[in-house]
């Protein structure tokens, strides 16, 4: 995970060009805020591991949790992670609890057999302004837990959760 180059924004701040990509494609946009605990910070930064944990939390909430999938003998697995970037920007000391906002745009692909999750994580500062910290495109795939093979089709209830 590297940042190739930076450009100045209107305020003169340097922003990695990889994060200046166009908006994610049309799909279902879901947002959720999480409190960040001290042990989740690596100094003044979030590690990529912890960023992926926040991304996973939002996806699990959207699905309805692991118990929902167990009823249908399904397992959601991460098939691929693309464009994963965590900014090496030090975050200011927070006066209150640190909060992050995860935004995910769900886009169903391959006849609803996979789902691309365009995910961004923002730090929400004390005056409720967002600062982009990380982004990735996480591709999900369903496995049938009885066979261990890819599911033949995605249940309609799950397609509705992602569209």
According to the model, what pLDDT value does residue 99 have? 85
According to the model, what pLDDT value does residue 108 have? 92
According to the model, what pLDDT value does residue 11 have? 46
103 contacts 23 by C-beta, under 8 angstroms? no
Strand spans (E) along the chain: 6-8, 14-16, 28-36, 41-42, 45-46, 74-86, 98-109, 114-124, 130-144
According to the model, what pLDDT value does residue 70 have? 83
According to the model, what pLDDT value does residue 106 have? 92
Query: Mean pLDDT for each consecutive 10-residue tract of the chain (163 residues)?
Result: 39 48 70 84 76 92 85 90 79 67 92 92 85 91 92 89 87
According to the model, what pLDDT value does residue 125 have? 79
């Amino acid at each position: 995970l590297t940042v190739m180059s930076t450009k100045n924004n209107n305020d003169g701040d340097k922003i990695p060009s990889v994060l200046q990509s166009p908006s994610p494609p049309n799909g279902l946009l879901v947002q959720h805020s999480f409190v960040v605990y001290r042990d989740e910070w690596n100094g003044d930064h979030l590690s990529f591991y912890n960023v992926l944990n926040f991304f996973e939390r939002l996806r699990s909430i959207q699905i309805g949790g692991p118990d929902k999938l167990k009823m249908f003998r399904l397992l959601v697995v991460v098939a691929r992670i693309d464009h994963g970037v965590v900014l090496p920007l030090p975050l200011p000391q927070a006066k209150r609890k640190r909060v992050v906002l995860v935004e995910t745009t769900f886009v169903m692909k391959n006849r609803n057999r996979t789902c691309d999750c365009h995910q961004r994580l923002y730090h929400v500062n004390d005056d409720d302004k967002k600062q982009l910290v990380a982004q990735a495109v996480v591709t999900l795939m369903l496995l049938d837990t009885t066979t261990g093979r890819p599911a033949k089709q995605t249940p309609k209830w799950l397609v509705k959760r992602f569209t």
